[in-house]
């Protein structure tokens, strides 16, 4: 295999939906895919813990211009939580800092406790997270044995479903499906739930089922990606990419004539009738010339549509 520094780069544009394996960081997953595609520009759309698996959208080239929307999108997770032990990371990769019996915890106790974790809730982000304090990631401070004050943040849990509860085998555990807003820490839900139940708890498995519009059934594994690269080459790899506008399908679409699209590409606002949104909200829209997606626009107070993030014309 040729050194990564000597492999010729190529222009790659689109979103790759990867099923991240356990034990690798999101950045490690990104770098492996980027190397296989020989792409000069790529980024992921919100880190998953090394313990976690599942949907990790990777944006290549011009698709990085929609990555912020995937960062801000709702997520859906399936998690297994062990009762009776609290860890310093709130998952099984950390050190146990407290043990308490969970044998008296019933399914009804869990159901009642879960009612506190639906809707808008308040969380203190864990020390073992990528959030920064004075420029330093919290996890680096935590590894150095330091703990700093973190501000509470409001997040939204749209749905929280108990799929399983087992307290009969000496290792009490439960399984939850969680649909939540950006910034929600499932590990913190587990830790806080353990405190409410009075026995402590931590995450032992976490799988992201959905990120925005993208679901796990559409994802490819890194092993399959490696095989496709070796056996079928660039064309087959590119066929796996999803168009950038799929990431923002929740935004209304505006179709422009060739003349208006040309003005927008030059940075000018244009009048569009009829508008798919109400004016005055600086609402964002998808921009199309015919069936070609070419960027994101905003509806101004006067009803005109102005460019916000435009794709290079050479990418389609």
Q: Which of 19, 49, 191, 245 is catalytic?
A: 49
Question: Is-contact 10 39, C-beta < 8 A?
Answer: yes
Phi, psi angle pair for 261, to nearest 5°:
-60, -40
Q: For 56, which DSSP code?
A: E
Q: How far apart are CA 64 and CA 252, in angstroms?
A: 20
* DSSP β-bridge partners for residue 173: 82, 166
- Catalytic: 74? no
Question: Is-contact 136 152, C-beta < 8 A?
Answer: no
Q: How far apart are CA 5 and CA 290, in angstroms?
A: 40
- Look at strands 75-83 and 119-123 and give their pairing: unpaired
Q: How far apart are CA 276 and CA 283, in angstroms?
A: 10
**Three-class SS string for 138-165?**
HHHHHHCCCCCCCCCEEEEEEEEEEEEE
Is 41 strand, coil or helix? Answer: coil
List residues with catalytic annotation: 49
């Amino acid at each position: 295999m040729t050194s990564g520094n000597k492999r010729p780069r190529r222009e790659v544009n689109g979103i790759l939906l990867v099923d991240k394996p356990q034990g690798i960081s999101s950045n490690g997953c990104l770098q492996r895919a980027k190397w296989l595609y020989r792409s000069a520009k790529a980024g992921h759309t919100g880190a998953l813990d090394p313990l976690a698996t599942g949907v990790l959208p990777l944006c290549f080239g011009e698709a990085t211009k929609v990555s912020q929307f995937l960062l801000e999108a709702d997520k859906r997770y399936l998690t297994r939580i062990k009762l009776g032990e609290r860890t310093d990371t709130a998952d099984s990769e950390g050190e146990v800092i407290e043990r308490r019996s969970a044998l008296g915890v019933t399914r009804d106790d869990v159901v009642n406790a879960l009612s506190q974790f639906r809707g808008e809730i308040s969380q203190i982000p864990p020390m073992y997270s990528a959030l920064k304090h004075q420029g330093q990631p919290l996890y680096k401070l935590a590894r150095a044995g330091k703990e700093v004050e973190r501000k509470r943040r409001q997040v939204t849990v749209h749905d929280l479903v108990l799929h399983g509860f087992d307290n009969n085998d000496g290792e009490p555990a439960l399984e939850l499906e969680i649909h939540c807003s950006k910034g929600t820490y499932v590990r913190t839900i587990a830790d806080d739930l353990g405190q409410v139940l009075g026995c402590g708890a931590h995450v032992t498995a976490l799988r992201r089922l959905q990120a925005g519009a993208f679901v796990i059934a559409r994802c490819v594994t890194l092993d399959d990606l490696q095989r496709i690269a070796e056996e079928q080459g660039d064309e087959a790899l590119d066929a796996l990419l999803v168009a950038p506008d799929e990431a923002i399908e929740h935004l209304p679409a505006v179709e422009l004539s060739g003349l208006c699209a040309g003005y927008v590409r030059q940075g000018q606002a244009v009048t569009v009738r009829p508008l798919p949104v109400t004016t005055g909200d600086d609402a964002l829209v998808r921009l199309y010339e015919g069936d070609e997606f070419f960027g994101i626009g905003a509806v101004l107070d006067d009803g005109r549509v102005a460019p916000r993030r435009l794709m290079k014309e050479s990418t389609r």
